[in-house]
Structure 1
Amino acid sequence: MQLGACYYPEQWPREMWEHDIRLMKEANFNVVRIGEFAWARLEPEPGQYDFQWLDDVIGLLDQGGIAVILGTPTATPPKWLMDKYPDIYQRDKFGGVRGYGSRRHYCVNHPVYQELTKGIVQVIAARYGHDRRIQAWQIDNEFGCQDTTYCYCDHCLQAFHVWLEQKYGSVDRLNEEWGTVFWSQTYRDWSELILPAYSVCDGADPEYHGHNPALVLDYKRFSSDAVVRYQQFQIDLIRKLSDKPITHNLMGHFPEIDYFNLAEPLDFVSWDNYIDYPWDRPSYRKTAMAHDLMRGVKKQNFWVMEHQSGPCGWNVLADTPRPGQLRLWTYQSVAHGADGIVYFRFRAARYGAEQYWYGILDHDSVPRRRYREIQQTCGELVRLAPLLEGAQVVSDIAIVKSYDHLWSHAIHPHNRNFDYTRLLQSYYDAFSAHGYNVDLVGLHGDLSSYKVVVIPAFHLSDPDLKAWVSRYVMNGGRAVLTFRSGSRNWNNAMTDQTLPGDFRELCGVEVEEFDSLNYGRQVEVQIGGSTCLASIWCDILHPNGATTLGTYAGEYYDGEAAITVNGFGQGHAYYIGCDLDEHAMRELMGSIAEASGINPLPISVQNEGVEIVRKRKDGREFYVVLNHNARAVRIPLTGECQELVSGAAVTGELVLESYAIAILRHE
C-alpha cells in the first residue's frame, strides 16, 4: 500500500529536507508527491532549467526508501511566461481577463500555451522518464478548480466552432438540433456561432440562463472535452519518454468535467479528499459516494492524492480534526477502494494563499498529535496491506451518474429546489442506511452484475440509451427511474412524446400532467400504510400495465398514482414520480433491495452514523465498520467475528468508541 504526503521542497530551506524525510520514514511513508506547482523554480528564465534542487531531493528521498509521484507543473505558468503571452489568460463571461495572482491562469485551448506545455513536459519527462525513483506521474493539478473550466476567449470560440462542425457536420443540422428558429437565432455559417457569454437576458439571478439550452449544453460538453484533450496532450508527450504510470488528481463531486472521459486514458485515478473545510462539511455518506464515484469512473481501485491531515482553509479555518478522525477518514478511504493515501500536506505553508491549510506538521515542524495519529494509522495499514490492498468493494446496486444530465439539469433545473447531485445522493443514502454498498457507473456500461440500478432524473435520451436500459430490465434487472425521465432528446430539446418519453413502454406508465411545487408547498404521498411529503415535484401518473405502489393524498390529483412498478421481460421497472423524504426513501429502497434478493448483512445497521463497507479479496469477504459519531456505539452481530486490526474474537456485540473503526471477518 502506498502511503505518504504532498511535499514542497522548493518552499523550504535545503537544510530542512533531511529532517523532513526522517520524520516521513518514521511515519511509515513510502511515497511523496512533488513538483506540481514548481514551474518557476524549474524554469526560472525562458529556456533555462534548474533541476539540481529536484535531483537532490529525489536522491535524499530515495535514501530514505521513499518514491516520488512527479507532477507536471502546468497548473502554475510563471510570471515571465504570462507577461510574454498575456492573451493566454482566461476571459470570463463578461469579457474580463482572469489575471495573474493565483493558479490555473491559462486557457487550455490556447495554441501557444500548448506549445509551452510541450516544452516543459518534454524536458521533465526526458530527464526522469525512466528514473527508477519515480513511481508515477501526475498531470497538472485539479483541472477546473477555481471555476477554470469555462473560458470565453477567442481561442475557445475558434475551438468551439471546430468542435461543433465535427459533431454536426453542417450548420443546417445544428440549426435543426438546436431549434434556432426560436427568437430568430438561425446561424448561416460556422463563423456566426457564439459562446454563451453575458447577454441581454442574463439578469442578477445567477440561476437564470437566457441562452438557448442546447447551445449552453454543447458549450459545457465542449469545455469538458477541451480539458480532456489537454490532459491527453500531456499524456502522449510523457508516454513517448516514460514507462511510468500516469494519473491526475480529480475532485470527487466536482461538476464541470466529465470524469468518466477524463479518467479513461489514465493508468489509475486519484482524487483530493477534504472532509471538513470552511465552505463545506460534507456528510460521511457524501464523502463515501465521492469515493465510490472515483472508483467507478474506471471501475478499479484508486488513490487519494490529497488527503486532509489537519484544519484547513484559505482566509478562514475550519474545525481541527478531533482525535481519531484522521484515522477514521483514512480507513473510510481505504474501505471504499483507496490503495494509496497521500496526505496534504506534510507541513503547513508559511507563505501564499494556503497559509491556513494545515498539514501533518504545523509551521514550527514539531510532530504532535496529528503526526502521531497518522504514524499509527500508516503503521496499521502497512501491516494490513496484504488484506486491504487490491480488495474489492462488493456491490449489488448501482446508481447511474451522467455529466450530460448533470449539466442539462443545471441549465434548466425545472424547479429552484431541484439538484441532480443531491437527488443521486438521496438514493445513495437510502441504500447506505441499510448497509448496502453502491457503485457509481456511467452511461452504456455493463449493468448485468447489478440486481438494482437507479437511473435518477434521466431526462436526456436517445434510442441507444433507451435500448441500454430496456436490455438490462429485459434480462432480469430492476431499474428505478424517476420524475423528468425521458423529457428531452440528447441535445436538450424537449421531446414531443408523451412522458416519460422513451421509457413509457418500459415503465408501463404515462405522465398525465405534473406539478412543480414552489413557495413551500408540499403534497402528501401514501406508500403502503405510510405517509410522506413531496416538496419539489409531482408527476401525476396513468398506469398502462404498471402496478401502483404509492398514491397522492392531496391537491387536485388526490388518489392518483405517484409510484409504480412494471414487469418487463424478466425484470421490473420502477417509476418514482415525486421526491420523497428521507424516511420514505429509505423504506422504499429497502423494499426494492429485498425484492431483488440482496442478502442482509450479518452486522446491524441500525446505528445512525455507523458505516459498513463489504469487501472481498481472494474469495473471502470482510467488513470495514466505521463509527462517524462523537460517541461510542454498540453494534449487534450475528454469530462470531474476528476483528482483524486487533486479532480479537468478537461475539454478539461490537463496541466502537468515538471515531473508531473495526475490520470484521464473519466466521
Structure 2
Amino acid sequence: MIIGADYYPEHWSVSRWETDAAMMEEMGLTVVRLAEFSWSKLEPEEGNYDFSWLDEALNVLSAHGISAILGTPTAAPPKWLMDKYEGMYSVDGYGRIRGFGSRRHYCFNSPDYQKAARRIAAALGAHYRAHPAVVGWQIDNEFGCHNDEVCFCGHCQREFRRWLKSKYATVEELNRAWGTVFWSQTYRSFDEVIVPGYAQCDGESTRNFCHNPGLLLDYMRCRTDNVAAFLDLQVKALKEAGCSQPVTHNFMGNYDHLDYFKLAKGVDFVSWDNYLCHQWQQSSYGDAALAHETMRGLKQKKFWVMEQQSGPAGWSVMGDTPRPGQLRLWSWQAYAHGAQAIVYFRWRACLFGTEQYWYGILDHDGVPRRRYREIGQTAKELTRIDEMLAGGGPVSEAALIKSYDNAFSHQFQPHNPKFDYNALLRSYYEGLMQNGVSCDVCSIDDDLSRYKLVILPAFQLVTPPMAKKLRDYVSRGGHVVLSFRSGAREWNNQMTERTLPGLFREITGVTVSEFNSILYGDPIPVKGPFGKSEASIWCDLLEPDTAKPYAVYGGDYCEGAPAVTVNAFGKGKAWYVGCDLGADAMELLLGDVLKDAGITPPVSDLPKEVEAVSWECPDGQKVLFLLNHGKDPVSVPVSGFSKELLSGLPAAQTLTLEGYGIGVLT
C-alpha cells in the first residue's frame, strides 16, 4: 500500500524541505506528487529549462525514502507562452476568450500549444527518465475541471469538421444522421458545419444551447477524442524520451463531460481526486463509493487516489472541517473499493494564491496537529492490512452500467429539469449499498457474463448489437434492471420510431403506452411490495405484454396502472422501473431483485450509514469491510466470520463500530 502527499516545494523555503521530508517519513508517507503546476519555474523562458530546484527537492525527499510522481505542467501554461502565440486561449460559447489569471487557460486543439506541451513533456522525460526517485508520471491535471472546458474557437471548429468527415465520409450522411432538414439546417459541405456556440434561441447556460441534438452529441464525442489525443501526445513524448515509468492522469470521479472509458485507454493506471466536502459540494458516502467503483471500472483494475482530502477545502469560502475519524474513514473507504495508493492533498496549506483556503495535512504554520496524527495512524493501519490481504480485491456479483454517451445526451435534453443521470445512477447504486451488496461500475462493452445482475438506468441511446448483447445475457440466465427512458433514442441521438422501450421491448415484455414528465403537477403515488412511495420526476404508464406487474400507481389518472414490471425471458428476468422512487422504496425493490437474482448480502439487517464491501484474496479467503459513516456507534449483526483483523480478536456475533469506525472481518 502506497501512502503519500501532494507536495509543492517551490512554495516554500529550501530550508524547510528537510523538515517536511523528515515529518513525512515519520508518519509513514512514501511518495509525493510534484511539479504539475510549475511550468514557469521549470521553463522560465522558451527553451531555457531549469530543473535544478526539482533535482534538489528529489534528493532531499529520496534521502528519507520518499519517491515521486512527476506531473507534466501543462494545466498551467506560463504568461510568456500565452503572450507569444496567438490562439492558445480557449473560447466560450459566446465567443469570449477565457484569458490569463487562473489555470487550464488553453485550447486542446491549438497546434502551438500542442507543440509547447510536447516540448516540456519531452524535456522533463529526458531529464528524469532514469532518476531512481521518479516512479511515475501524471499527465496534466484534471481535464475538464473548469467550466467543463468546452471550447468553441477556430481550432476546435477545424478539428470538429475533420472529425465529422472521418466519421460520416459524406455530408449527405451527416445530414441524415442529424436530421438537418429540421429548421432548414442542411449543410452543403463539411466546411459549413458550425460549432454549437451561442445561437438565436439560447438562454444563459452554455449547457443548454438549443442546437441540433446530433450536433451536440457529436461535439462532445469529438471533444473527448481531442482530449485523448492531447493526453496521448504527452505520453508519446515521455516514451520517446526513454521513460519507462508508468503514466496516469488524475480523473474526477463522477464527472461526466468526458468519456473516461476512452481516456483511460491512454494511461497505464487510473488515478482520481477525492473530495467529499468543499466549497461547492458536500458528497454523500454513496457519491464517493460510486466514484471509486467507476474509477476501478475504467480499466477493471485497482487505482490511485492522487488527491485525497485532508482538511477543510475551498477557494473563497471553505467546506466543513472533517471531524475526528473522518479522514481515516474516507481513506479506508478508498482502500476497500480498490485504491492501491492514497496521496493526500495537500501536504501544507499554501500562504498565497487562489487555494489559500484549501487546507492540507498541515495548516499554514506547518505545525503537526490532529490531522497529521490521524493520517499517520491511517497510513500504518492500511500498510499492515494490505500486507495481510496481499493480492486481494473487491468482488461483485452485480454491475451498474455507466454510459458517457447517454450522459451527454441527457445533459442536452434532460426531459425534466429535476432529472439528473448521475443522480439516477447513484440512487440505484445506493439502493444496492443499503442492501449490503457491492457493485462494479462498467461499460456496456465489458464482459457481463460474470455478473448475476446488470442495471442500466435511463439507457436511452442504444444500438441493435447492444440490445442483442443484453438479450443473450438475460436468455442465458442473467437478470437486468432497466428504467424509464431506456431505449428511447438511436445512437445518433434521434428519437426512435419503435414503440417504447424500443429495442428493449422484447426482453422487458412491456409496452410504454404513455408517459408523464412531472414538471408542474403533483407527485404521483406508487405502491407495491416496498410499501408506498411516489414518482416526482417521471412516470411511464406500462402495458404488460408478457411481463408481470410488481408495483402500480396509486393515484391521479394513472391509478392502478403498472409502474414496475418483471418479465421472465429465457433463463433470466428483466425488470422495468417506469418511474423514479424514493430511497426506501428503491432499497426494498432492489432487495427483491437481488433475491430473485440469487445474490445474498454478506450481512443481514445492515444499519443505515454502514457500508459493506466484499473482497476475495487469491487463496480464496473472503473478507468483509464494514465502514460506519455515521458519527454515533452502531452494532452490526455478523456471522460466519472468524476474526476481526484490525483488533486481531475473534469475531463475535455482533460487531460494534464506533462513530466513523471500521471493521475488517475474515
Which residue pairs with 2:662 in the alignment?
661
Which residue pairs with 2:44 in the alignment?
44
Take 1:62 and 1:52, find their aligned partners in 2: how far apart are those partners? 15
Q: Is the 8 A contact 1:522 1:535 kept in 2?
A: yes
Q: Deviations over 1:43-75 (max 9, x none)?
A: 011111111111111111111111110110111
Is 1:402 the counterpart of 2:403 in the alignment?
Answer: yes
Which residue pairs with 1:313 in the alignment?
314
Alpha-carbon deviation of 1:468?
Answer: 1.7
Alpha-carbon deviation of 1:408?
Answer: 0.2
For 1:510, give the aligned amino acid.
T
Q: Is the 8 A contact 1:607 1:633 kept in 2?
A: yes
Query: Cα gap change, 1:529/1:66 in structure 2, threshold over 3 Å: closer, same or farther?
Result: closer
For 1:631, give the aligned amino acid.
D
Q: Deviations over 1:74-130 (max 9, x none)?
A: 111101001111420000000101000111111000111111111111111011113
Which range is displaced more, 648-657 or 19-28? 648-657
Which residue pairs with 2:211 in the alignment?
211
Q: Is the 8 A contact 2:27 2:376 kept in 1?
A: yes
For 1:506, give the aligned amino acid.
I
Which residue pairs with 1:100 in the alignment?
100
For 1:60, give the aligned amino acid.
V
Alpha-carbon deviation of 1:605?
Answer: 4.1
For 1:473, give the aligned amino acid.
V
Q: Deviations over 1:528-556 (max 9, x none)?
A: 37222111111111111111212222222
Query: Cα gap change, 1:620/1:639 in structure 2, threshold over 3 Å: closer, same or farther?
Result: closer
Which residue pairs with 2:11 in the alignment?
11
Matches within 5 A, 1:321-400: 321-388=322-389, 390-400=391-401
Take 2:625 and 2:249, find their aligned partners in 1: how far apart are those partners? 27
Query: Cα gap change, 1:205/1:6 in structure 2, threshold over 3 Å: closer, same or farther?
Result: closer
Take 2:148 and 2:543, find their aligned partners in 1: how far apart are those partners? 45
Q: Deviations over 1:388-436 (max 9, x none)?
A: 4542111111110000001101111111211111111100111100100
Q: Is the 8 A contact 2:198 2:209 kept in 1?
A: no
Which residue pairs with 1:190 in the alignment?
190
Take 1:505 and 1:591, find their aligned partners in 2: how far apart are those partners? 22
Which range is displaced more, 537-546 or 330-339? 537-546
Which range is displaced more, 520-529 or 432-441? 520-529
Which residue pairs with 1:270 in the alignment?
271
Alpha-carbon deviation of 1:640?
Answer: 5.1
Is 1:300 the counterpart of 2:301 in the alignment?
Answer: yes
Matches within 5 A, 1:452-531: 452-528=453-529, 530-531=531-532
Take 1:529 and 1:494, find their aligned partners in 2: how far apart are those partners? 33
Which residue pairs with 1:162 in the alignment?
162
Which residue pairs with 1:247 in the alignment?
248
Where 1:429 maps in the other structure, the secondary structure is helix
Which residue pairs with 1:279 in the alignment?
280
Alpha-carbon deviation of 1:492?
Answer: 0.6
Take 1:656 and 1:588, find their aligned partners in 2: how far apart are those partners? 28
Where 1:575 maps in the other structure, the secondary structure is strand
Alpha-carbon deviation of 1:650?
Answer: 2.9
Alpha-carbon deviation of 1:443?
Answer: 2.0
Which residue pairs with 1:417 in the alignment?
418
Alpha-carbon deviation of 1:168?
Answer: 0.8
Q: Is the 8 A contact 1:476 1:570 kept in 2?
A: yes
Q: What TM-score comes out, normalization by structure 1 length? A: 0.98
Take 1:314 and 1:118, find their aligned partners in 2: how far apart are those partners? 31
Take 1:643 and 1:531, find their aligned partners in 2: how far apart are those partners? 39
Query: Cα gap change, 1:333/1:18 in structure 2, threshold over 3 Å: closer, same or farther?
Result: same
Take 1:97 and 1:596, find their aligned partners in 2: how far apart are those partners? 54
Where 1:538 maps in the other structure, the secondary structure is strand
Q: Is the 8 A contact 2:196 2:209 kept in 1?
A: no
Query: Cα gap change, 1:16/1:337 in structure 2, threshold over 3 Å: closer, same or farther?
Result: same
Alpha-carbon deviation of 1:387?
Answer: 3.0
Take 1:106 and 1:368, find their aligned partners in 2: how far apart are those partners? 39
Q: Is the 8 A contact 2:530 2:585 kept in 1?
A: no
Alpha-carbon deviation of 1:641?
Answer: 3.4
Query: Cα gap change, 1:103/1:175 in structure 2, threshold over 3 Å: closer, same or farther?
Result: same
Alpha-carbon deviation of 1:207?
Answer: 6.4
Where 2:149 maps in the other structure, the secondary structure is coil
Alpha-carbon deviation of 1:196?
Answer: 0.6
Take 2:231 and 2:310, find their aligned partners in 1: how far apart are those partners? 28
Alpha-carbon deviation of 1:147?
Answer: 2.1
Which residue pairs with 1:69 in the alignment?
69
For 1:173, give the aligned amino acid.
E
Query: Cα gap change, 1:438/1:87 in structure 2, threshold over 3 Å: closer, same or farther?
Result: same
Query: Cα gap change, 1:326/1:520 in structure 2, threshold over 3 Å: closer, same or farther?
Result: farther
Q: Is the 8 A contact 2:121 2:234 kept in 1?
A: yes
Which residue pairs with 2:222 in the alignment?
222
Q: Is the 8 A contact 1:486 1:500 kept in 2?
A: yes
Q: Deviations over 1:596-623 (max 9, x none)?
A: 111231x344311111111111211111
Q: Is the 8 A contact 1:627 1:660 kept in 2?
A: yes
Q: Deviations over 1:6-50 (max 9, x none)?
A: 001111111110000000000101111001011100001111111
Where 2:648 maps in the other structure, the secondary structure is coil
For 2:159, give the aligned amino acid.
A
Q: Is the 8 A contact 2:625 2:662 kept in 1?
A: yes
Take 2:245 and 2:504, find their aligned partners in 1: how far apart are those partners? 45
> How large is the RMSD of aligned CA atoms in angstroms?
1.3
Where 1:663 maps in the other structure, the secondary structure is strand
Q: Deviations over 1:323-365 (max 9, x none)?
A: 1111111101101100001000001001100001000011111
Take 2:436 and 2:87, find their aligned partners in 1: how far apart are those partners? 52
For 2:443, give the aligned amino acid.
G
Take 2:530 and 2:29, find their aligned partners in 1: how far apart are those partners? 55
Where 2:277 maps in the other structure, the secondary structure is coil
Alpha-carbon deviation of 1:203?
Answer: 2.2
Q: Is the 8 A contact 1:35 1:70 kept in 2?
A: yes
For 2:151, give the aligned amino acid.
C
Take 1:28 and 1:81, find their aligned partners in 2: how far apart are those partners? 39
Query: Cα gap change, 1:640/1:408 in structure 2, threshold over 3 Å: closer, same or farther?
Result: closer
Q: Is the 8 A contact 1:149 1:223 kept in 2?
A: no
Q: Is the 8 A contact 1:433 1:605 kept in 2?
A: no
Q: Is the 8 A contact 2:287 2:426 kept in 1?
A: yes
Take 1:98 and 1:635, find their aligned partners in 2: how far apart are those partners? 53
Q: Deviations over 1:470-493 (max 9, x none)?
A: 121122100111111111100110
Query: Cα gap change, 1:57/1:207 in structure 2, threshold over 3 Å: closer, same or farther?
Result: closer
Query: Cα gap change, 1:245/1:529 in structure 2, threshold over 3 Å: closer, same or farther?
Result: closer
Query: Cα gap change, 1:105/1:192 in structure 2, threshold over 3 Å: closer, same or farther?
Result: same
Q: Is the 8 A contact 1:624 1:664 kept in 2?
A: yes
Alpha-carbon deviation of 1:441?
Answer: 0.6
Q: What TM-score comes out, normalization by structure 2 length? A: 0.98
For 1:456, give the aligned amino acid.
P
Which residue pairs with 2:592 in the alignment?
591
Q: Is the 8 A contact 1:228 1:261 kept in 2?
A: yes
Q: Deviations over 1:492-544 (max 9, x none)?
A: 10111111111111111111111111225111222137222111111111111
Take 2:61 and 2:456, find their aligned partners in 1: how far apart are those partners? 47
Q: Is the 8 A contact 1:632 1:658 kept in 2?
A: yes
Which residue pairs with 1:149 in the alignment?
149
Which range is displaced more, 177-186 or 603-612? 603-612
Q: Is the 8 A contact 2:93 2:206 kept in 1?
A: no
Q: Is the 8 A contact 1:149 1:224 kept in 2?
A: no
Alpha-carbon deviation of 1:137?
Answer: 0.6
Query: Cα gap change, 1:60/1:537 in structure 2, threshold over 3 Å: closer, same or farther?
Result: same
Q: Is the 8 A contact 1:301 1:390 kept in 2?
A: no
Which residue pairs with 1:119 in the alignment?
119
Q: Name structure 1 gaps, 5 residues minimum.
A: none
Q: Is the 8 A contact 2:313 2:357 kept in 1?
A: yes
Which residue pairs with 1:79 in the alignment?
79
Q: Name structure 2 gaps, 5 residues minimum.
A: none
